[in-house]
Amino acid sequence: MVNFKYNVAEREIKLHWKKSSGDWVKEDELSNLVLIHSSVTFLKVIAQDEKSIYADDICLAEVTFFPSTTREINDSFVPQSKPKEGDDILYIFEKGLVIRIHCEEIELRYGTTTC
């Protein structure tokens, strides 16, 4: 992830990813990706390991949905491709950073360089 923007007044969060440049990256992959969360009612950011390196801080490990009734659990992965009523979305990064969001809608934009 290269950018995180939270517009409190509009209750909107944007997460912006940019394609990395390693040998493992396919050339036909999208160069930019933005996820726009609308009507946000909950946000929690859990800090990563203090000894983490930058490359791991921005590397996404898992995306999952989890019930909003269990917000004290932020390190579990549920193989669920669509949210159930009342679920939060969790973005879990390689070194422990977790971004947990509850919102009405998530929009995907790609090919754009702005967040």
Residue 115 token pair = 């967040």
Q: Are 35 and 108 in contact (CB under 8 A)?
A: yes
Phi/psi at 59 (5° precision): -95, 115
> Any alpha helices (H) in 5-85, and if so which ranges?
54-57
In the chain, helix, strand, coil percent, each to 5?
A: 5, 45, 50
Per-residue model confidence (pLDDT) at position 57: 63
Per-residue model confidence (pLDDT) at position 79: 85
Per-residue model confidence (pLDDT) at position 113: 58
Domain ranges of the chain: 3-110
Full-model pTM: 0.84
Per-residue model confidence (pLDDT) at position 107: 96
- Across the chain, which has 115 residues, the per-10-residue mean pLDDT values are 91 90 76 94 86 68 91 84 92 88 95 62
